[in-house]
Amino acid sequence: VKRYRDGYPIEESSFGGLCGDAEDINLLRLGVRDEITGECSLQNGYKEVSAALGLSDDESRGDLSLQTFHKVAAVAQRNAVSVTTRTPFRTYYEAILRNLGRGTPRHKKAMEDLANILGSKDGNLSRHMDGIVEEKCAVRIGCIFTLTARMNHSCDPCAEIRAQEYADCNIDIAAKRIIQPGEELTISYVNLGPNPSNSILAKNRRTRELEARYLFVCTCSRCLK
């Protein structure tokens, strides 16, 4: 919105090269579906965003309309990468060890206090407690990286996204195998697992997920086998 108000065309500044149209929210099942027309709408969310941003009547009827909001939602759904922010528990625990020393009375007291904060009844840390911290602090989010979003999908990709610990607003694209000169860099939009299968069941699972989340049928070499 700020870039738009600064004079940048919203289509060029926000959607250039990214797939997604306002009508896609029906296929993606975003928002509330009208029982009569069968069409989806994000009207309620748009009202909240419009109020928060202080959109004028002219902006709401023009380039920042509900239709634009629908397109933004569709673009985000079809181009976002899911990442999990890095848990602070490990850094916090390492700082306690560094400052208090392992096994010292102060360290034991700090661990007891931490365990009690996390819900322990006996002052001891259990193995699942770091999961409590991760659930509350290591938030799972969707991010759009404009260069990565332009990379095509393959169920037999030559590269992969690596963002196990999302800490610095960057993700890495790493080669999975030797890439030949002139070969297109591809990634998988779905989780293939450590040992991708060529079975019909695996292909059908990938097909369903790609159609539901990204609205296309894959015709890569693995799917055509």
pLDDT higher than threshold 70 for residue 171: yes
Helix (H) or strand (E) holding 168: none
Helix (H) or strand (E) holding 44: helix 43-53
Asked if residue 18 lies in contact with residue 4, where contact means CB atoms within 8 angstroms, the answer is no
How do residues 25-51 score in pLDDT, each as one tens digit? 999 999 999 888 889 999 999 999 999
Higher pLDDT, 19 or 7: 19
Q: What is the pLDDT of residue 196?
A: 83
pLDDT band with cut points at 50, 70 and 90 for residue 165? low
Both tokens of residue 29?
């099942």
Asked if residue 203 lies in contact with residue 223, where contact means CB atoms within 8 angstroms, the answer is yes
pTM of the model: 0.70
Residue 166: C-alpha distances to residues 23, 78, 102, 186 (Å) = 32, 20, 28, 21
Amino acid at site 1: V
Asked if residue 186 lies in contact with residue 157, where contact means CB atoms within 8 angstroms, the answer is yes
Number of neighbours of residue 3 by Cβ within 10 angstroms: 12
Mean pLDDT for 142-152 is 87
Helix (H) or strand (E) holding 70: helix 66-79
Report the SS3 class of residue 7. Answer: coil
What does the mean pLDDT of the chain come to?
A: 85
Distance separating alpha carbons of residues 109 and 117, to the nearest angstrom: 12
pLDDT band with cut points at 50, 70 and 90 for residue 214? very high
Both tokens of residue 168?
């610095």
How do residues 87-142 score in pLDDT, each as one tens digit? 777 778 788 888 888 889 888 888 888 888 877 888 787 777 767 777 777 777 78
Number of neighbours of residue 37 by Cβ within 10 angstroms: 9
Helix (H) or strand (E) holding 184: none
